[in-house]
Structure 1
Amino acid sequence: LFKARTCRRIVVFSGSGLSASSGMSTFTTPGGLYDRAKKRFKLSDGKKLFNYSFFHRRRLDCMSFLADVFAEAMCARPSRGHRALARLWEQGRLQRHYTLNIDGLCEAAGMDTWQPMPCKDEDGDDAMEYPRGAAASTVEMHGNIRQLVCAECGCWAYMDNSKSRQIQRKQRIPCLNCHEGKGLRPRVMLYDDDEGDVITPEDLWDIMKDDVVVADM
């Protein structure tokens, strides 16, 4: 902690512990996401729901469960850890924050995040701003449950309560950019995800290597 006070290029890697105190369920704890998925879909192992093979076979079931995770994320609030990272960024001392979390709480705390290409709105205009790239403070390595993405063209849109209810009713949400495929899916990385190229920034590893080289903590 003493060293951190003098560092100017801090690189942070975080996981579920950062968001546990925010009200987000973890995967492996009793009553957590794996347990709930196992019970709801009568699986031998709840982890199977988060595998791409399950998503491929039972897309709407998987998406309806992820819509519940979205609802949980919308009720959660940034933890002291999130706010501390946001302060480091404001002070210009955070080189980058890499997180495995999908809850979007870093952005809720005031940090900006790496974004893929936006979808179009109903008028054909860009619905979201373009990627912030290397200027972004946080890279969500496993995606963001508050976003939907098209596996065909890579465009995305924010999840909202209306779209979440559609998903829970097992209704398809079309891509407003390409109108192809099976529509939008949650921008969340699954195990062995065949569509992972639309979840994780393609130049992630190059930027991470550069960050580690210049990091002083």
Structure 2
Amino acid sequence: GHLVVFAGDAVQGAPADAARQAAALAASLTRGGGAAGVADVRLVNRADQALAGFLLEEPGPAALSSYAGWNTAGNAFGTAAAHLLMAGILRLDAERGADIRARAAAHAAFLLQRFADDYLYMAAIRPPLETELRVRGASPFNIPGNLYPEIRARLAKDVETRTRTLFAQYFESASLNLGPDAPAFVLSGFSMNTLVPWFRLFEIDPAVSVTLSSAPGPDTGLPPRVRVFAP
């Protein structure tokens, strides 16, 4: 498999142009069942929203073997590389005829978790919450006990609501790309429980599980949906 590392190099032009090029490269690598992951290292502690948006549209998250854009460049790269390696093992086992359904579901869940955490939470939900806490005289790195229950509940609800929309528009009914010889697994549902383990906004634990069906959904003959999504 291939790992696309996105750093938003100025030589490639403006960040949006570079993001579009990186997503197009990932899409070309996944055509025909190819394996490709994406390590987004352009920003610290959050995904690049332009890149994530392009990836969601083309090739689509289910086509990717891995994706990460969290914390440091080393963490994002290491997570994407490790997931790509595990997805490669999954492909080999599929070729050998092994039962990969449970691991395929775990693979899909981790893809959804990374988009929910790195893209939705870190890049879109957390920044305004940090600003709000500072305006209220509190630190986002040490949330006072009297504010913690409120912030935790609001945060979890927001993450789960936006993830539900994200799943419906970009994951649901999509076929996992596990290689041309793998069984056809289609994402049909998910569940999520968002934990905020510490009195700070720096990290959350969006525990995700995904339900797969074994065959593509029926062709309705309808044109593709127009997708309008803002994280």
TM-score, normalised relative to structure 1: 0.30
Larger RCO (CA within 8 A; separation ≥ 6)? 1
